[in-house]
Amino acid sequence: MSEFIKNTVNKNEVVIEKRTKKKLKKPSLYKVVMLNDDYTPMDFVVYLLKTFFHMNTDQASKIMLEVHNKGAGICGVFTLEIAETKILKVINTSRKNGFPLLCTLEKL
């Protein structure tokens, strides 16, 4: 907090102004979780992970197997807007290719 003292020209008054710095809050983070289904091929899931989450083949295969075996897998952690955009891209691409794959959002 800073204090500034001003001496006015016409009157001999002292005015003290206080300035406070506003603290910026870091944005909340969200997990993008891919859910398993019985129809989407594993290769297509790997393709989505590589394309929209910029994973290499090993990372994408590991997440795909987690989704397949456990029913869900975390694709990444992002701010709200980025997470929503990635989810929409995955869902839209899945639908265009005739698959019912879903992703959800979970706040950390």
pLDDT digits (tens, 9 = 90+) for 57-77: 999 999 999 999 999 999 999
Buried b (16+ CB within 10 A) or exposed e, 35-47: ebeeebeeebbbe
In a domain, 10, yes or no: no
In a domain, 79, yes or no: yes
In a domain, 44, yes or no: yes
Tell me the pTM: 0.77
Domain containing residue 73: 29-107
In a domain, 78, yes or no: yes
In a domain, 103, yes or no: yes
CATH of the domain at 41: 3.30.1390.10
Calculate helix-pair angle for 42-52, 80-96, nearest 10 degrees: 140
pLDDT tier, 40 (very low <50, low <70, confident <90, very high otherwise): very high
How many structural domains does the chain have? 1
